[in-house]
Chains A and B, each alone.
Chain A
Amino acid sequence: MIKDSPVAKIVVSEKPDDDILRMVAEFVKARGCYKTEYIIDPDILGGIIIRIGDKVYDGSVRSRLETVRRAL
């Protein structure tokens, strides 16, 4: 089962600390995913984007600012 697990792609703006790593691992395990792959992309300005299969959990500062921009 673990072998077939999808890879969770995680985008962060800077190198994550241990606390975050642990929380992310828990989060993705709860969604049936055991492998993680980290990408560091300062463009997201902060926060985190987790992509499992075709589901995206977008908690990045960039997308939240984008929402504000559209609403104003």
Chain B
Amino acid sequence: MIDLNDIGRGLKEKISKVKESGIQRSTGRIVYSGDGIIKITGLSGVQYNELLDVRGGYQALALNLEHDSVGAVLFSGEDKVRFGDYVYSTGTTLEMKVGEELLGRIVDPLGNALDGLGEIVTGKSRPVEYPAPAIMDRGKVNKPLQTGILAIDSMIPIGRGQRELIIGDRQTGKTAIAVDTILNQKGENVICIYVSIGQKASSLAKTVNTLRSGGAMEYTCVVCSTADDAVPLQYIAPYSGCALAEYFMYQGKDVLIVYDDLSKHAVAYRAMSLLLKRPAGREAYPGDVFYLHSRLLERSAKLSEAKGGGSITALPIVETLAGDISAYIPTNVISITDGQIYLESELFNSGVRPAVNVGLSVSRVGGSAQRKAIRKISGQLRINLAQYRELAIFMQFGSDLDAETQKTLSRGAKLTDTLKQRQYLNYSVKEMIVLLIVSQSEVIDGIPAKKVTEYNDGLLDYMRMNRQDLLDAIDPDGEISEELRGKILAAAEDYLNYTVGDGEAHTDV
């Protein structure tokens, strides 16, 4: 039986805690409204980025403070506000709801639920725009963030607190890499935030379903603005997501945030700026489009131990047109981030998936965070692949090749095949070590061409079922002894003989 007095007391207590903003407010009246932009006269004392209340319960954001009017963007109700309506200042800037309650939920950039699972009540919020951690508050990136993707974790390692750009044309698997990375954080104690900016609702639904069926929603929050949302919502979405990430980071937790994607964010900001009549610059983007992304990505950081040691790892995504990474927004974001994963449609279409261009992809800080064993055995990988590609160009002329060259070519092709990986099939660190050791040994010569991926999948199954002792013996943070290496190769050889038999194993070279 619920006691009515209890409810009454609870309510009283809550009401007594309500902060009143004070009775003095500044007002203005709408003198222009169009395309979601309003101009307001009056409103003396209004701040930049201040939240405004428009009569009728709508909210707007003051962005242009001019001589005799204030330009603001409406979050909703652009067809409802009327000429002459009163607008009130609130004295606060935009805030995003934060809290553990948001994990597993899909929210709009203001923290309101969009998944129909009920209202989210956290009682906590953080300003959407917030200064990045100061220099002295930052620590060194020293812990890896495993993506579970062999090509990335071996050659373009990402550390916790790093900002690694995923860049490529449409349909090259950019989102797939980000989603795979989120899926791989299961049990890694990393909170994930997926921010969708101006995405198609259909592709977002697909992503959410993938996360849900992969069991990743437990530690993930999706902050979403779709293509039909008001432009200002798309504009604030990444900052809101970042505010939520900061909430966890300042508690000392590790956070992974995906911004999908920043080119659409720049387009939304351009639309807003042009409608606000700000001067247009290159490609009609406003002058501060660089600052738009730099201030967002600077908020990703690894905090020093004194500050709790939390981190925000950012994976911003940028879509290029026809592979042009020297366009305005791509070059901007490349220069802000600590490296990029460059995806190519040519590779994607020729079956190399993930379509990572190893030559153009770099990680500027992740190397020091890479697991020791992986760093050791993948050191030669990049060079080997580069040599292979160089030779492969000559091969196209079809001239007779000596045995040594043919061997390099066949090994290179198999190495490339080893780096192919099906979507949603993440490797653990130990599995990666096995694959890397095998791919750089004589064993790989025995695998028939075009069968490498199949062999690798089978080998890992075989190891898990029959040679778990070897997997257990691998220490990712230590040295791989010659003895262990030999045992792993012997197991790989065993499996090879088991699958292909001796007869056909050497026929392909």
Q: Which residues of A line the B interface, CB within 8 A? A: 51, 53-59, 64, 67-68, 71-72
Contacts and interface: CB of A to CB of B under 8 A. Distances in A.
B28 interface: yes
Contacts of B4: none
A67 B17 CA distance: 12
B25 to A, nearest CB: 5
Nearest to A58: B23
B40 to A, nearest CB: 10
A56 B43 contact: no
A61 B334 CA distance: 54
A16 B481 CA distance: 92
29 contacts: A51-B27, A53-B44, A54-B26, A54-B27, A54-B28, A54-B42, A54-B43, A55-B25, A55-B26, A55-B27, A55-B44, A56-B24, A56-B26, A56-B27, A56-B88, A57-B23, A57-B24, A58-B23, A58-B24, A67-B18, A67-B20, A68-B15, A71-B14, A71-B17, A71-B18, A71-B19, A72-B11, A72-B15, A72-B18
Contact of B25 (A56, A64, A68, A72): A56
Interface string B40-70: 0011100000000000000000000000000
A64 B24 contact: no
Contacts of B25: 55-58
A64 B15 CA distance: 11
A71 to B, nearest CB: 4
A51 B25 CA distance: 10
B23 A59 contact: yes
B21 interface: yes
B487 to A, nearest CB: 65
Contacts of B23: 57-59
Contacts of B15: 68, 72
Given A68-B15, A71-B18, A55 B24 contact: yes
A68 B18 CA distance: 6
Contacts of B14: 71-72
A59 to B, nearest CB: 5
A45 to B, nearest CB: 15
Contacts of B21: 67
A61 B20 CA distance: 12
Return the 8 tightest CB-CB contacts between A and B, nearest first.
A54-B42, A71-B18, A59-B23, A56-B27, A56-B25, A58-B23, A57-B23, A54-B27
Contacts of B19: 71
A55 B19 CA distance: 21
Contacts of A55: 24-27, 44
A54 B20 contact: no
A57 B23 CA distance: 5
Contacts of B88: 56
Nearest to A59: B23
Given A55-B44, A67-B21, 15 more contacts: A53-B42, A53-B44, A54-B28, A55-B24, A55-B27, A56-B24, A56-B25, A56-B26, A56-B27, A56-B88, A58-B25, A68-B15, A71-B18, A72-B11, A72-B15
A54 B11 CA distance: 35
A51 B15 CA distance: 27
A58 B313 CA distance: 45
A13 to B, nearest CB: 16
Contacts of A68: 15, 18
